[in-house]
Amino acid sequence: MTEILSPVQLIQPKRFGDSRGWFTEVYSEPAFAKLGIDCRFVQDNHSLSVPKHTLRGLHFQTPPHGQDKLVRCIRGTIFDVAVDIRKGSPTYGQWVGAELSAENGYQLFIPIGFAHGFVTLEDNCEVTYKCSDTYAPANDGGIRWDDPTIDIDWLMPAGADPELSAKDAVQPLLASFDSPFSYDGRPLAPLA
């Protein structure tokens, strides 16, 4: 019997170090296929967030331009989050999150059907991510970062206000979202 892997996966690439520093393989199609990740990445994005507590999200693209994402932080530390928005999913509206940093080298794979967002936990964070489709403005969507039904713990101090884009400040709540994403039989599970 084949184990059904969670659709959102925390990837922990090995680092091989010596006196010069370290080397790591951040993406290998055959290695990722063994994890059940068989998408083809066609676009790489890179962002710089200068102030601590910059929050970007929760974002997704609707079909036919949905995006699988492979996210990593190459400078600083972020808290990266995925929210299940697949219609019919037993874990609809639930989230998982992980701390990604330049130091730990972890990556988060977020498949189509999940909203994605992150908050920076220090100043001057740089994030890169691979996408399985190019940016399509007509398919750009989002959910409120502070939706009370999702109730994400963004790891910010009590009373701290995040730095938001004008668009992210007014995204709709999950309750008013009619999801175009279908459940694929793999419920969201805690990150390993």
Tokens of 37: 């990740």
- Tell which residue, 62, 118, 56, 55, has the closest CA to residue 86: 62
Confidence at residue 137, expressed as pLDDT on a 0 to 100 scale: 97
Structure tokens that stand for 17 in this block: 């170090």
- What pLDDT score was predicted for residue 1? 39
Residues of the chain with pLDDT > 70, as a percent, come to: 98
Q: Give tens-digit pLDDT for 57-99.
A: 999 999 999 999 999 999 999 999 999 999 999 999 999 999 9
Burial zone of 163 (CB within 10 Å; 0-12 exposed, 13-18 middle, 19+ buried) = middle
Set out the domains of the chain in order of their start, with CATH numbers. Answer: 9-14+26-176 (2.60.120.10)
Cα separation, 132 vs 117, in Å, equals 17
| Whole-structure pTM value | 0.95
Average pLDDT, the chain: 96
Mean pLDDT of 142-154: 98
Active site residues: 59, 129
Given a contact cutoff of 8 angstroms between Cβ atoms, the answer to whether 79 and 99 are in contact is: yes
39 pLDDT higher than 70:
yes
